[in-house]
């Protein structure tokens, strides 16, 4: 599988599944890999027929992707994950790379007032991710190969008061992904954990940019490079690894006043 990844962009034969088919990062990864086949799985749009992914499909075809297929995927409908993923694998697999590109930022102030909103954030960013990863790990183990790409966040490395609901979900996901990566060791299946900082994109458009921020394409470039090198973990940008290594020593009295 690594050999196929090395050939991506030069006539490779990688099969790619993007869960969260409208994600800017997920699409940027797909464009860089230029796979033989890509499946975009996304929640249907109420104002458009089907999945409403015409623009995204055209982007990928222009970038050199071969076959582009679509599927309906509701991350929060965890009871449907197993049947959906099994069906996609049977129709379009085996998949070389599966990118989990779904998630929500939520509203911290609202989450502090409304438990339902706090639960909605953690359900999408943690519970739904665990469900997908568990079913995917089983499928990829059965085929004996494949890589899952999971997006954590520096927000989960040391949770800040300013966005502790989102940060807590990412902290849980980060820990789960690390444990799963260990459980997959020797199976032929890999997990790449990506820890980006602030990303300039639709999801964080209402949030003030933070230091060491990046763009979706920069995150995608680092992710694809890590895939080709067979890495297990990548920080985007790399300097954040050093920064957060030092930030863990900041006293809590100061840390609780840190912005998001």
Two tokens, residue 58: 């055209």
CB 126, CB 175: distance < 8 Å: no
| Catalytic hit among 126, 164, 166, 198 | 166
Q: Are strands 97-100 and 37-42 parallel, antiparallel or unpaired?
A: unpaired
Non-local CB neighbours of 193 within 8 Å, separated by 6+ positions: 150, 152, 174, 177, 178, 181, 232, 233, 234
- Establish whether the linkage from the previous residue to 94 is cis, with ω within 30° of 0: yes
Segments of 88-163 assigned E as strands = 97-100, 146-151
Rg of the chain in Å (alpha carbons):
18
Q: Is 164 a catalytic residue?
A: no
Per DSSP, the residues of 180-222 read HHHHTTTTTEEEEEEEE--B-SSTTTTS---TT-B-HHHHHHH
At 247, is the secondary structure helix, strand, or coil? helix
At 58, is the secondary structure helix, strand, or coil? helix
Q: Catalytic site residues?
A: 166
């Amino acid at each position: 599988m690594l050999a196929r990844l090395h050939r991506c962009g030069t006539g490779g034969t990688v099969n790619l599944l993007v869960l969260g088919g409208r994600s800017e990062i997920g699409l940027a990864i797909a464009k860089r890999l230029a796979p033989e086949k890509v499946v975009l799985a996304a929640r249907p749009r109420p104002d458009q027929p089907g999945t409403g992914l015409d623009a995204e499909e055209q982007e990928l075809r222009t970038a050199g992707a071969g076959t582009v297929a679509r599927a309906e995927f509701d991350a929060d409908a965890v009871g449907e994950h197993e049947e959906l993923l099994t069906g996609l694998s049977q129709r379009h697999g085996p998949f070389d790379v599966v990118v989990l590109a779904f998630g929500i930022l939520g509203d911290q102030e609202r989450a502090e007032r409304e438990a339902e909103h706090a639960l909605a954030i953690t359900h999408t960013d943690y519970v739904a991710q665990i469900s997908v990863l568990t079913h995917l790990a089983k499928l990829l183990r059965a085929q004996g190969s494949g890589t899952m790409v999971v997006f954590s966040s520096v927000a989960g490395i040391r949770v800040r008061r300013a966005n502790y609901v989102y940060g807590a979900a990412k902290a849980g996901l980060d820990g789960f992904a690390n444990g799963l990566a260990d459980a997959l060791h020797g199976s032929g299946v890999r997990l790449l954990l990506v820890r980006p900082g602030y990303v300039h994109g639709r999801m964080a458009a209402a949030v003030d940019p933070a230091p060491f921020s990046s763009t979706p394409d920069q995150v995608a470039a680092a992710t694809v490079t890590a895939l080709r090198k067979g890495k297990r973990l990548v920080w985007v940008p790399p300097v954040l690894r050093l920064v957060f290594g030092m930030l863990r020593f900041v006293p809590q009295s100061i840390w609780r006043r840190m912005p998001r």
